[in-house]
Amino acid sequence: MRHGARLLATAAALAVLSGCGGDGGGGHSDPVIFVAFYDDFSGDFPDPNWNIMEGDPFTSFDEGNGAPSLILQPIGDPILVRSDFEFSSGQAMTLAFEVATFVEEASSQFSFLVVTASGGFIDASFDYFPFDAELVLAIEDSEVVLDFPSSTVFDVIEFTVDDHGVATWWINGDAVLSRSGFPVDLYEIEIETFGDDFTFLAVDNVLLTRP
């Protein structure tokens, strides 16, 4: 079910940023979540977190659902943004982001990719075709195709790897694809869009946490 994802993710980010305390009575303590990376696109762009490889993405305080957001509006040419940070899959992690669609054309595609830092090999992918209301999720050679209608309400997407190497894609809290034996490597994020000038997507609250 779609919901006010932005408020949920922002609240979660603030909670993990502040940490969790004990119960004060010596009984138990809640686990502390470590924020390895967080970008709500309210600061400078692309520095220091991103590199623009192609196209003209921009952040906007006037556009999007609950601005600021990263606006991806290709004008005939693709947009490619790559993270300027690396992260390891060698310990448990949760990589989250939010995405919304405002206008879509038949040619439009949005991809959020987990790629190896050394060679750019794609080991996990979120490929969305808003005009066709189709989403293709993949983890290595495992793949699932879902109906995914466009919405101006942000959806929360998560990619997790647990302590046993099981990788999972989640949509708004629901697990939709899992695969064991995810490779231990250093990774980067790539965000890509293709389409005409009427394609209009927004990305927000990119968050990487560890237990």
Kindly report, residue by residue over 56-74, the tens digit of the pLDDT: 999 977 765 567 899 998 7
* pLDDT at 13 (0 to 100): 46
Per-residue pLDDT at 20 exceeds 70: no
Kindly report, residue by residue over 169-187, the tens digit of the pLDDT: 999 999 999 999 999 999 9
Q: Which CATH class is domain 5-18+32-210?
A: mainly beta
Closest Cα partner for 79 from 194, 198, 179? Answer: 194
Kindly report, residue by residue over 134-163, the tens digit of the pLDDT: 999 999 999 999 999 988 889 999 999 999
Enter the tokens of residue 196.
């005409």
* pLDDT at 110 (0 to 100): 93
* SS3 labels along 65-102: CCCCEEEECCCCCCEEEEECCCEECCCCEEEEEEEEEE
Residues 6+ apart with CB under 8 A from 100: 64, 65, 69, 151, 152, 153, 154, 155, 201, 202, 204
CA 118 to chain CA centroid, Å, is 21
Kindly report, residue by residue over 83-131, the tens digit of the pLDDT: 999 999 999 999 999 999 877 777 789 999 999 999 899 999 999 998 8
Domain residues of the chain, as ranges? Answer: 5-18+32-210
Q: What is the percent of the chain with per-residue pLDDT over 70, rounded to a whole number? A: 83
CA 162 to chain CA centroid, Å, is 17
Per-residue pLDDT at 10 exceeds 50: no
Q: Is 5 helix (H, G, I), strand (E, B) or coil?
A: helix
